[in-house]
Amino acid sequence: MGTANRKGSAVPLLCTMGALLALLDPVQPTRAPDCGGILTPLGLSYLAEVSKPHAEVVLRQDLMAQRASDLFLGSMEPSRNRITSVKVADLWLSVVPEAGLRLGIEVELRVAPLHAVPMPVRISIRADLHVDMGPDGNLQLLTSACRPTVQAQSTREAESKSSRSILDKVVDVDKLCLDVSKLLLFPNEQLMSLTALFPVTPNCQLQYLPLAAPVFSKQGIALSLQTTFQVAGAVVPVPVSPVPFSMPELASTSTSHLILALSEHFYTSLYFTLERAGAFNMTIPSMLTTATLAQKITQVGSLYHEDLPITLSAALRSSPRVVLEEGRAALKLFLTVHIGVGSPDFQSFLSVSADVTAGLQLSVSDTRMMISTAVIEDAELSLAASNVGLVRAALLEELFLAPVCQQVPAWMDDVLREGVHLPHLSHFTYTDVNVVVHKDYVLVPCKLKLRSTMA
């Protein structure tokens, strides 16, 4: 008996300890993607094209500086051979499925021996690249293998042997692979900018975090992202999506550089966070006064003997929800509207439940998703609480439906007037953008454009 009692008393103690440990160990957010993107082969070709000037600057600085450095390596006079020009003739990138990227650079040099005609030289660099995810969560582009070759463009055998001797002294082949690593510094800075903290409102931010290294396939480079939201610097634990999100299959004939995909859960989480930030606590102006309202609801006259302006104060009573269907996006709001008088000491005498469905219009400006409330598709008002007796639903709609339908969309649009930053690299913007709403997700095919400050 005594042993049984001791065992029974231990059960509540263990439960209490378990609860305390759970409080000490904060719940980790579920790691599941809610958006992502695919960089297409065309997009990869564009990135290679705009990288040529940068590659040329890096290679010119290093190759033309080699001869000057001879003075600091013990030689009392510089080499008799010097590189007079460096030009990147071609730079390309291609996907190696399930592995990474292949980089190709064709460099044209002119080497001038002392008192001789400059000699044309061609350098071919082939490098295999892969992407790792570091412990800080950032993606990093790294070199797996590098194979440079140097060739003098001479037609005569004797000249070719002489050229080879000169080239061995002028071009440090091993150093070319270090130059490739230098070329990756700028792309890696751009990959770090992907995970920057972006403002949504003054006290609300979002951040896109890669869940794993990207997947390389013939379609392109696919990257899955999880969005985290913050209010006043604290991460908001958004509800878990009931449906796991994965990047949709894309048409092989796409002419876009990049195709972004944003799930229904992404938009719902955005509005959930804005609700937690208090962004949707709104004051709705009204043309009504206590005197005009008393003509419809007689008990208002017994509460207020002087004529006072009526104010509507609205707040969400439950979390908003975004619904995505083919060709249509809608926001469902569940509001409680308090009708009363007084400012700042507001006194409510009537509360109304307002269920509003607003159509959403989605567009892109620069790298921001612009979300506007196009039209109120449906609205229902019902009595929630009253100090002035029973008020019929039809009368509630007659008195308050118009200001709710006019002012709620305007308030929502003002909250998101700056737009929502899409996943992007800091030195690129989006052009030729198309926003396509599908069931459960939104596709944003677009082209990349290097910002003019970097061109």
Among 367, 370, 371, residue whose Cα is nearest residue 423: 367
Which residues are within 8 A (CB) of 422 and not within 5 positions of it... i.e. 6 or more apart?
Answer: 260, 262, 364, 367, 368, 369, 430, 444
Please check whether residue 297 is in contact with residue 391, taking contact to mean a CB–CB distance below 8 angstroms: yes
Place of tokens 């980790």: 28
Residue type, 416: L
Helices 185-193 and 41-69, packing angle to 10 deg: 140
Residue 375 is predicted with a pLDDT of 84
Round to whole Å and give the CA distance between 422 and 281. 26
Q: What is the pLDDT of residues 326-360, one digit of tens each?
A: 999 999 999 999 999 987 788 999 999 999 999 99
The string of DSSP letters for 201-253 reads ETTEEEEEEESSPPEEETTEEEEEEEEEEEETTEE--PPPPSS---PPP--TT
Please check whether residue 394 is in contact with residue 383, taking contact to mean a CB–CB distance below 8 angstroms: no
State the pTM of this model: 0.84
Which residues are within 8 A (CB) of 73 and not within 5 positions of it... i.e. 6 or more apart?
Answer: none
* Distance from the Cα of residue 445 to its chain's centroid: 14
Instruction: Give the mean pLDDT of the chain.
Output: 85
Residue 245 is predicted with a pLDDT of 87
Round to whole Å and give the CA distance between 227 and 52. 33
Per-residue pLDDT of the chain (455 residues; tens, 9 = 90+): 444 444 444 434 434 334 333 333 333 456 789 999 999 999 999 999 999 999 999 988 888 775 544 433 444 445 556 778 889 999 999 999 999 999 999 999 887 765 566 778 888 999 999 999 988 889 999 999 999 888 876 655 545 555 555 555 556 667 788 888 989 999 999 999 999 999 999 999 999 999 999 999 999 999 999 999 999 999 999 988 878 888 887 766 789 999 999 999 999 999 999 999 999 899 988 899 999 999 999 999 999 989 999 999 999 999 999 999 999 999 999 999 999 998 778 899 999 999 999 999 999 999 999 999 878 899 999 999 999 999 999 999 999 999 999 999 999 999 999 999 999 999 999 999 999 999 999 999 999 999 976 54
Residue 111 is predicted with a pLDDT of 79
Q: How many residues are listed for the chain in this entry?
A: 455
Beta strands of 276-346 (E only): which ranges? 282-289, 309-325, 328-341
Q: Is the dihedral of CA 378, 383, 385, 386 positive or negative?
A: positive
Beta pairing partners, 433? none
Round to whole Å and give the CA distance between 449 and 447. 7
The string of DSSP letters for 158-203 reads HHHHHHHHHHHHH--HHHHHHHHHHHTHHHHHHHHHTT-EEEEETT
Residue 51 is predicted with a pLDDT of 93
Round to whole Å and give the CA distance between 265 and 94. 33
Q: Is the dihedral of CA 408, 410, 415, 421 positive or negative?
A: positive
Residue type, 134: G
Residue type, 164: R
* Distance from the Cα of residue 395 to its chain's centroid: 45
Give the phi and the psi of residue 78 in degrees, each rounded to 5.
-65, 165
Structure tokens at 81: 């051979």
Residue 154 is predicted with a pLDDT of 60
Round to whole Å and give the CA distance between 208 and 227. 5
